[in-house]
Structure formats: C-alpha cells, structure tokens
Amino acid sequence: MDERYRVPARYLPISVLFVLSCGFCAVPPASGADAPVKIVGWRGDGSGHYPNATPPIEWDGETKKNILWCTKIGRNKFSSPIVTAGKVFLMADPAAPVTDMHPPAALVCVDADSGKILWQQSDTFADLPTKVEPKPARGSPGNTTPTPVCDGQFIYVSYGCGIVACHDLQGQRKWIQYLEHEYVPQYGRASSPVLVGDKLLVSIACLTALDAKTGKLVWKNEKDIETYGTPLPVKIGGVDMVLAPSGHLVRVADGVTVAESKELKYTTPIVHETTAYMVDTSTFALALPTQAADKLELKRLWIADLEGLFYGSGIYDNGLIYAVNNGGHFYILDAKDGNLLVDKELDIPSGSGRPNLPPAEIYPSLVLAGKYLFLSNTIGNVLVLQPGREYKEIKRNLLEEGSGGTPAFAGSRIYVRGGPNLYCIGEK
C-alpha cells in the first residue's frame, strides 16, 4: 500500500454518519464601546479564516517531523480545540477508566507552548444546584462533541446531555445549568455554544439564550429546532442576529424569528458581507437584508446542485466557495453565481469506499490559514491546497490516528487532535 495511506494499528474505523460541522462554534464580530472583545470558538472566529497564521505545510506523525509536542488528553471523536490567552481548551472523554478521579467528561486546559495540562474540570449532574435525574447523552457523538467558546475571561461549554457551564480561565466554575429537553437529533448533539453580546446561545432541542454572566434562561425559540450545525452571528442594520442552520434568522435580543429559508442538514452557514452561503447537496446563496425589522426576507440569489453528503462546513475566500463532501469530492464554486468551477475526486481515504483505500470519513471542516486551505479526514490525512479557481495541491501529510475535529491555528502553530492526543505542529 502507498505509504501516504498507512493506518496506525490502533485505528478503529468510524462508521457513524455524523458531522463535524459539529464541532461548531460560530463567533460574532467584536463588540463593546471601549475595547474589542476577542471571542474564540469553533474555527476561530467561526469563519474558518486565520489570516495572520503562518503554519507549516509539512509534518509527519511517525517521524515526528514538525511535531513540537503531543499530550494525551482523552478520546473525543469530533470536538475541536480552541486557542486563546496562551492556552488550548478542548473537551475530552477520560483517558483513564471512569472513577471519582476521572469523571465521565471534562473541559481540559493545556499550556499552548509546552503542552502541559494546567487543569481539567468536569460538569456533571451532581454539580447542578438543584437535583436532576441524570440523563446520559444520546447518539454516537457522546457528551463532549460541542466545541467550547471563550471571550478572554470565561470559557463556556455545553454537553450532549443538556448541561451548560461557565468557567474562568483558572478552571473555577462560575455557573452550571441544565436545559430540560426531549428532542435530540438522530445521530446526537453536535452544535456548539455561541457568544453574542451578553448572551450565550446554545442549541439544545431548540435555539436557547442564556445570560452569559449567570446562566439564567433569557429566551427559547421553539420554532428553531436543533440541527447539527451551529448558528452564525450576523448584524442586520446594526442589530445582532443569528442565522441558524435551520434557515431561521433570529434576533438575539428577544429570540424572535424575523425570516426563514431552507435548512442545512449538517453544516453551518457561511456569511460574507451581505450574502449568506448554505452549502449542502443543494447549495444556495441568500441576500441578507440591510435593515432590521420584525419581518424580513431572505432572497435566494442562486442555487447549485452538488452530490453527496456534506458533513464538514465549507469556506468563502476571495469570491470563491470551497466545499468537500464525505465521498471525497472537492468543489470550487463562483460565489457570484454558483457556477461550478472544480469537481475533483480526491485520492485520499473518505466515505466513498473506493478500493485499495482504508475507511475514513471527511468530518472536519475546511480551514484557510494564512495562504493555504487545510482539508482533513478522520484518520489523519491532511491536504494542503492553494486557494484559487483551479485545484492545486501543495502537500499531503499524515498524523497518527486522526480525528473528526477541525484543527485550530495560532501564529506559526497548528493544534489538532489525533485519537486521545492533542498535537502541536510547528517548524522545528
């Protein structure tokens, strides 16, 4: 077999049809009159863009080329790391058997420079202020798929079981809340928390707003049913809103749906200026309103029919839309009219079941870091691509085991999960 496709012996194939858009944490623009608040979550600011990053484009898990450190954190199929204030935050299932010393799920804080675990905290039913009968997370994603979000002072987490919590950067819990729910998406909970102003938005059964300082319920939008993707913050006429994967445009102040469109099954919307792009088998563009009102229209600009299931979210850059389906087809579309420029069948393991390739899924979402696109699968194959109107592959890399999570970038470093480990990749 070609060495590019070697699979570590410990690898166990993941066969669940589930998405990492999952990992999802969309992040609003900076707000505040005095000083901007940098909010960091899934795919950084939610767009998947790391314009100031200067990451290496070559590494190898077996030879340790450009692997600066590797820390055992605990297994997690889908959740992504975030990087802020010199720390990496991520969710994990326990590395050791569950005991009083190793709770069933944890928020882990790692020193971004050394890889040392600084602290880890669990948020369980036993920690709730009022007694609630424990209800385990349903579905293969488990309890720790949602990616945390941080405002530089506090870090917010949500769990598959319906628990939501806030910790300071030293690990002290500020509040914990449980949202009673009956509905869970077919394959389990994936949507990540989002911070908009003084509200924390979570999709647990439906879109719900909590007071970020106290965790108290502010509103619920029961029309906006939970999907696998994460709501994306937008401003309409200076008013904070979120465009949910369900197709609902929701006002953050009171939770009112002001416009509706077709939903996305797994992915998160993409927004550039006044246009939203909904990437799925039926991919379409929507003109966002420029003025706020109680009732608005999301006008469809174009529609493009693609093939396959899209689990990872796409990305916009310089007038182009990039997307990849789980079967390993990489697409480039003209964002202006939806014209298909590239349909490239990738020769990496994917959900296509192609002969002579090991099993894998393309759950991680696309990321644009510095000058390059990064495309990965669940067994650690990573393609580094040159953005543009044609397919251009620069490098391909392999990291032991891999993950369904989306990598995070900070400066000249990449932070990515691989099995139970967190890796830091940088030039040696």
How confident is the model over 333-348, as pLDDT tens digits?
999 999 999 999 999 9
| Chain segment 216-234, per-residue pLDDT in tens | 999 999 999 999 999 999 9
Full domain range(s) for residue 281:
15-425
Is residue 9 domain-resident? no
Is residue 361 domain-resident? yes
Residue 314 and residue 323 in contact, taking contact as beta carbons nearer than 8 Å? yes
Q: How confident is the model at residue 98 (pLDDT cuts 50, 70, 90)?
A: low
**Mean local confidence (pLDDT), 358-387:** 97
Is residue 325 domain-resident? yes
Per-residue pLDDT at 10: 33
The encoded tokens of residue 59 equal 């590494």
The encoded tokens of residue 32 equal 């505040």
Per-residue pLDDT at 76: 84
Per-residue pLDDT at 29: 40
Q: How confident is the model at residue 104 (pLDDT cuts 50, 70, 90)?
A: low
Per-residue pLDDT at 141: 79
**Mean local confidence (pLDDT), 242-255:** 97
Q: How confident is the model at residue 36 (pLDDT cuts 50, 70, 90)?
A: low
Residues 23 and 42: their CA atoms lie apart, in Å, by: 6
Is residue 265 domain-resident? yes
Per-residue pLDDT at 77: 79
**Mean local confidence (pLDDT), 91-109:** 68
The encoded tokens of residue 215 equal 């965790």
Q: Residue 14: pLDDT above 60?
A: no
Q: What percent of the chain has pLDDT over 90?
A: 77
Q: What is the largest CA-CA distance in the chain?
A: 59
Residue from 334, 34, 84 nearest 195 by CA: 84
**Mean local confidence (pLDDT), 286-292:** 96
- List beta partners, residue 331: 323, 343
Is residue 340 domain-resident? yes
Q: How many domains does the chain have?
A: 1
Per-residue pLDDT at 161: 92
Least confidently predicted of 36-50, 107-121, 246-260: 36-50
Q: Residue 323: pLDDT above 80?
A: yes
The encoded tokens of residue 195 equal 């911070």
CATH of the domain at 373: 2.130.10.10
The encoded tokens of residue 233 equal 């913050």
Q: How far from 125 is each of 181, 228, 425, CA to CA, in Å?
A: 14, 24, 36
Residues 139 and 16: their CA atoms lie apart, in Å, by: 10
Per-residue pLDDT at 96: 52
Q: Residue 100: pLDDT above 70?
A: no
**Mean local confidence (pLDDT), 123-133:** 92
**Mean local confidence (pLDDT), 314-326:** 98
How many CA atoms, within 13 angstroms, populate the side-chain half-sphere of residue 309? 16
Per-residue pLDDT at 184: 85
The encoded tokens of residue 283 equal 């991919």
Mean pLDDT of all residues in the chain?
A: 89
Per-residue pLDDT at 215: 98
Per-residue pLDDT at 94: 64
| Chain segment 181-223, per-residue pLDDT in tens | 888 888 888 999 999 999 999 999 999 999 999 999 999 999 9
